[in-house]
Amino acid sequence: MERFYDYFRPKHYAISIDISADKTRFDAVTIITGRVKAKTIKLHAVKLRIKEIVVDGKVVDYIRKDGQIILSKMPIDKTVRIEARYSAPITADMQGVYLSTYQDGDKTEQIVATQFESHYARECFPCVDEPVAKATFDLMVSSAKPTDMILANMPAKSETLDEDKKTVVFERTPKMSTYLLAFAVGNFIGCQVKSKHGVQITAYAGIHQKVEDLEYPAQFAADVLDFYDDCFNVPFPLPKMDLLALPDFESGAMENWGLVTFREIAMLANEGSAFDQKQYVAIVIAHELSHMWFGDLVTMKWWDDLWLNESFANMMESYATDKIRPELAAWDDFYTTAILGAYSRDCLPGVQPVKVDVKHVEDIANLFDSAIVYGKGSRLLFMLMRTMGEENFFKGLKDYFEKHKYGSTEADDLWKALSPYAEFDVKEFMTPWLTQPGYPVITDGKQERFLITGEHSDEKYPLGDIKDDLTGDYLINLSDAEYAKKLSRLASLDKEQKMRLLIDRRLLAKTDRVASVSLLPLLESFAEETDSVIWELLSSIIADLKIFFTPSSKEEKAFKKYILKLALPNYRRLGIVPRKNDTDNDIKLRPIIMGMMHYSEDEDYLDAIDEEYRHIFIAKVDQDIRYIVACSLVRIHPELSMQYFGLYQTTPDSALKRDLMDALTGVKNTAIALSYLDRLKDGSVRPQDRLIFYMRLLRNHLIREDALKWVYDNWSWLYEEEGDKTIFEYPRFMAAFIRTSVDAEAFKEFFAQHENEKILARDIAVAYAEIDARLRLIKSDKDKIYEYFK
């Protein structure tokens, strides 16, 4: 495979960017010094309109093709200075150098921001855009709007102000990969704190946000940065750390060294925010800041080890948050999100392993199965940490950072660093887990890969001791006698043992190993349980059981009554109004229980909600229960849905936006719900929210078929809008909501024409298997479930 790094090794970039007054384009000069390794060298350059290229003072000819600049007759083993003059467009596609626009009252504000991972630095400057090609960077950015603030990875060295231009020159970066460079230009509010170890931390957001939502992220970032200093034994090397929330952002957040960028919902919170929101923000910040070491200081050589970055950050986010703010119960989130998500996807045939070959950087988009690369990978590292022991694990990591700082590594380098502290061969243990898809189910001490299709497959996985906590990446298929025994002593099990039991039964029930109907007595045996994380798992089992019921059928009504009965003990205890003496667990559990009451459509519950909350402005409702209150109010008064949509569009408050989105899409009025499908196209839903908004609409069974059809009818438009980075999420989500053979056939008929498209092939194949398995399960298990309710 061709690597440009083999031809040319950049040492230093000097980049100056001059942004136009209307922020639609920039002019730039990039000077690269580096060592020539071949006669013909290549640079990445996409969307750049090159005016001139000068090598060592002489204007040279060059070939421009396929996003490359090709220079020939270069002096091998000499250091050269390549100067490129060019201009480039700034578009709103949330990659490269892009424009984010928002309303502040009736004023329109613009922010120019960057997103270079994985291969979009080349849309800003000619470069060897490969992670191993580390260099130092001098950056200078000018804006034709002198009131703009300009941020980048490093602190400003100098700032000059003409009457029509502001220019900021930044200090030189340490040696780093191109995909980590970043800058942002706009009008920001900020909140500054200093970490105990002396790093200046500033949290920034657009001027439509509130300063009080910046204190919490800034303080948590300071604490977590100090924590990692000690944990990894290499102090954070930059003098400052900025966090910036952007109104338009493709993913959740991005670990640019010294200037981490976020979606607003992933960064903004205050002590009065919902528990979930505080937990989420802390976890995202802990994730991104762990990348300052794992990813930024030490970087994977090539993208096939991307899992190393992401799996690691995904484990550290819980580890660090738990140490700094134990009350946020970060491991609970790890168990219910990362572990459950990974298990649920990794049991489908055709799913990818954690580590995959990446031949072309463009492949990364569809290799980015987050349930696997983030979720499963972090789960495997968690297994390794538990098996080695925490102390040993971090001893190895300290060695790893000391040895490889500012360098590039492969998985083997990590295994080598950890090995001296393990009593087993780390590489031998980890490699089969990482390179094979799936995980085993253990029956009578024997393992077999667990697949929900019931197929047999030959993979074998290294197993240590089988434990009934959450250490190992396997399911335990108890015999009838063992299962009965476990249930009989439920009260004596600890939290992890209970979770293990619920996760195992939930997944095994997707196959003929365990009958779905047996989940019902299992749920009942937990009715007196009060731990919120256990209830999250119980809820996920309930959600699975919903597939067996036709909306509004008498069977569904019976099931709803059943759910009501399950929820009542905790509902009576917690009610619908938060109390001063609530424990953290009460705070987390109440919305889960209210969600079950909402699903059961219990009239007393709905009346109580109406009476208590009908006359309170929804933004003012206690944030821990706000989304479920909004959902229930929309259930009672469908016309509120439209009002919420108006508020969704205008409020700058991203947490409120999310709650409203949940509620308004669930409206039980077909015409209103259908109107939102049109809204997806007319610009009233922000592009960054489109996928999540669509998924919420799919949940609404009144319009589910229309929502599925909407994708078939609008495919070309959707593909154009979403691009390769997110389009495959659509078949993924759609497959999760298909429960009838009519919907299944329409899905297959439509996607048959896309089965061979590289970006979609894997997801379509996995989706077919998932849908077929679900339809088979409904057919085989539904009668017994209906009987149970008779």
* Size, binding site for Zn ion by CB under 5 A: 2
Shortest separation between residue 226's beta carbon and Zn ion, angstroms: 20
Interatomic CA distance for residues 70 and 4, integer angstroms? 10
Based on CB atoms, which residue is closest to Zn ion, 289 or 545?
Answer: 289
Distance (Å, whole) CA 388 – CA 423: 7
271 is a catalytic site residue: no
CB of 246 to Zn ion, least distance (A): 16
Cβ atoms of residues 271 and 243 within 8 Å: no
Window 298 to 317, contacts with Zn ion (CB under 5 A) = 310, 313
Buried-exposed string 557-573: b where 16+ CB fall within 10 A, e elsewhere: eebbebbbebbbebbee
Q: How far is the CB of 181 from Zn ion (least distance, A)?
A: 17
Which residue, 82 or 94, is less far from Zn ion as judged by CB? 94
Buried b (16+ CB within 10 A) or exposed e, 118-130: bbbbbbbbbbbbb
Q: Is the peptide bond before 553 cis (omega within 30 degrees of 0)?
A: no
Using the 8-state DSSP alphabet, how is residue 205 labeled?
A: E
Contact 90, 97 (CB under 8 A): yes
Residue carrying the six token digits 């809008």 = 721
Choose the catalytic residue: 83, 117, 123, 288.
288
The phi and psi torsions of 329 (rounded to 5 degrees) equal 50, 50
The two tokens of residue 760 are: 């979609």
Nearer Cβ to Zn ion (276/310): 310
The three-class DSSP label of residue 733 is helix
Report the nearest approach of Zn ion to the CB of residue 121 (Å): 17
Give the residue with the Cβ less far from Zn ion, 313 or 533: 313
Q: Least distance to Zn ion from the beta carbon of 349, Å?
A: 28
d(CA 203, CA 226): 16
Q: Tell me whether residue 289 or residue 508 sits nearer to Zn ion (CB atom).
A: 289
CB nearer Zn ion, residue 307 or residue 549:
307
Query: How many CA atoms does the CB half-sphere of 442 hold within 13 Å?
Result: 15
CB nearer Zn ion, residue 71 or residue 313: 313
Residue nearest Zn ion by beta-carbon distance: 313
Q: Report in angstroms how near the CB of residue 381 gets to Zn ion at its nearest.
A: 13
DSSP type of residue 717: H
Phi/psi region, residue 64 (left: phi>0; alpha: psi -120 to 50; beta: rest), is: beta
Give dist(CA 394, CA 609) in Å, integer: 49
Query: In whole angstroms, how close is the CB of 400 to Zn ion at the nearest point?
Result: 18
232 and 397 Cβ atoms separated by less than 8 Å? yes
Residue 388, classed as helix, strand or coil, is: helix
- The residue among 374 and 710 lying less far from Zn ion, judged by its C-beta, is 374
Shortest distance in whole angstroms from residue 179 CB to Zn ion: 12
**C-beta separation of 193 from 201 below 8 A:** yes
3-state secondary structure of 43: strand
Residue 10, both tokens: 């950049």
Using CA atoms, how far apart are residues 522 and 562, in angstroms rounded to an integer? 13
Interface with Zn ion (CB under 5 A): 310, 313
Q: Where in the sequence numbering do the catalytic residues fall?
A: 288
